[in-house]
Amino acid sequence: MALLETKDLTIGYGANKVLMRDINLEISPGQLIGLVGQNGVGKSTFIRTICGLHTKLAGNISLSGSSIEELNPKDIAKKISVVLTGKPDSLNLSVLELIALGRHPYSGWLGNLKKYDKEKIEESISAMEINYLAEKRLYELSDGQIQKVMIARALAQETDLIILDEPTSHLDLKNKIDVLDLLKKITNSGKSVLISTHEIQLSAQVCDSFWCMDFGQKMLIGEPRELILTGKLQKYLHIPKETLL
């Protein structure tokens, strides 16, 4: 069963600002998907829509076979964890405190953590290789370290699908590679990851599929290497063919 499936989905901001129509997609367990396209094309809107944070204009969104409209926010949070752009609201939290927030669908916002919750938090910290940061405050961390902490929080949420909006933005090359490698490792455990990204060349090395968005066009879907070698991706995104070869 697909973790996420869309049928005839239309996204946008009302009849006068439709960003994309007839989106038919699905994510299966263990996949790493790259969502690519120009700025303003609707990638963030698409992500927010499939997570239930933005109202769809038409069509259907299913999570593990259930319509998203039948699920309450707590149910959705047990199926999808989301890392949006921007830093956390409070940089005075410790790394451990922020990651513990990932357990809120199970512990409630009061954060009454049981033994199992604490074990999942520790597992997430170890998976992202940030044990040495656990007691630090967020304001003490670099952008790359904060991004890893945010992904660890999503892991602690214990969902089968993790969605990240521009997880490598504002990072140096080493941290971009580190984050993408860690995301690939996550999918090796059977979880699925969807990332919105402008890092086409780097993402092509780890992604199983690209979902490509362009203004007024249907989404282009395919295996990154095939899309690049045939020139389909370059043509779709209006960039010189030799750019990605």
Domains observed in the chain: 1-79+161-245 (3.40.50.300), 88-158 (no CATH)
Q: What is the DSSP letter of 201?
A: H
pLDDT of residue 110: 64
The arithmetic mean of pLDDT across residues 204-229, rounded, is 94
Residue 142, exposed/middle/buried by CB under 10 A (0-12, 13-18, 19+)?
exposed
At residue 198, does pLDDT exceed 70?
Answer: yes
pLDDT of residue 70: 92
In percent, how much of the chain has pLDDT > 90? 76
d(CA 199, CA 238): 16
pLDDT of residue 241: 76
Structure tokens at 53: 């944070």
Work out the pLDDT band at 16, boundaries 50, 70, 90.
confident
**Contact, 168 vs 180, CB < 8 A?**
yes
More confident residue, 112 or 48: 48
More confident residue, 11 or 216: 11
Q: Please name which of 2, 26, 34 lies closest in space to residue 212, comparing C-alpha atoms.
A: 34
At residue 109, does pLDDT exceed 70?
Answer: no
Structure tokens at 168: 């490598």
pLDDT of residue 15: 77
Structure tokens at 110: 């009061």
pLDDT digits (tens, 9 = 90+) for 52-85: 999 999 999 999 999 999 999 999 999 999 998 8
Long-range contacts of 23-26 (CB under 8 A, 24+ apart): 23/59, 23/219, 25/211, 25/219, 25/221, 26/2
pLDDT of residue 149: 94
Work out the pLDDT band at 111, boundaries 50, 70, 90.
low
At residue 171, does pLDDT exceed 90?
Answer: no
* Mean pLDDT computed over every residue of the chain: 92
Please give the model's pTM, rounded to 2 decimal places. 0.93
